[in-house]
Amino acid sequence: MGTALAATFRTRGEPGGAVREGGLRVVVARISNPVISNPVFSDPVFSDPVISDPVIHPNEKEPMSIFTPSRSPWTGRILSIFRIVAGAMFISFGTMKVFGYPPPPPGSPPMTIPLWSQMGIGGLMEIIGGTLIVLGLFTRPTAFILSGEMAVAYWQFHAPQSIFPSTNMGAPAVMYCFFFLYLVFAGPGPWSLDALIARRRGEAHGS
């Protein structure tokens, strides 16, 4: 256990290593330390020290755990994909209200909503806001507004019918409300215009 220290004196240019001028060279020889594999003290005679690092670097592959948070870059990428898909579906709710397309579910009356009514303005918010969500542009403020819109839509139109979202058909409003609220704090992910702008401004941190 431990290390062995050997001190040697040698004169530069003198045969036989006469003791005249020179310095103390400390050679650290590993005996049982599995971490240090070469001399630690810098000396031009020796090669550069190599110290084995027991710390796992982030770019090395690690087994994924079902209990600990993932440090994989795909965590943010999947968030971006989820944002794009959810935003594209959200746009279709707005176009249904404003343009009547896609058609409403079977059995529902045709959509004839005045543009400047509450429902019409909500449709415009869903088209414009959903487009910004898909692009990942101004994601946090847009998501904050859309989360509030979904909360109003649920409590005004769905909750009076029943307390259960599965009965009052308000499950999409609840899910979108909390999804947008999540984006307010999590951001849009690396595949977004916001992330591109942040990288160009030097504000991104490992996204």
Q: How far is CA 155 from the centre of its chain?
A: 32
**Cα–Cα distance, 6 to 8 (Å, whole number):** 7
Q: State yes or no: pLDDT of 172 exceeds 80.
A: yes
Q: For 71-124, write each residue's pLDDT tens digit.
A: 889 999 999 999 999 999 999 999 999 998 998 888 877 777 888 999 999 999
Cβ proximity of 110 and 104 under 8 Å? yes
| pLDDT (0 to 100) of residue 45 | 43
Give Cα separations from 49 to 5, 6, 41, 43, 81 (angstroms).
Answer: 16, 17, 8, 9, 45
Number of helices (H), then strands (E), in the chain:
6, 2
For 53-77, what is the mean pLDDT?
70
CB 90 within 8 A of CB 133: yes
pLDDT beyond 70 at 144? yes
Distances 126 to 16, 55, 119, 129 between C-alpha atoms, Å: 87, 48, 10, 5
Q: What is the C-alpha separation between 92 and 77, in angstroms, rounded?
A: 23
CB atoms within 10 A of CB 7: 8
39: left (phi over 0), alpha (psi -120 to 50) or beta: beta
pTM: 0.67
Residue 108 is predicted with a pLDDT of 79
Residue 145 near residue 183, CB atoms below 8 Å: no
Predicted local distance difference test score (pLDDT) of residue 113: 87
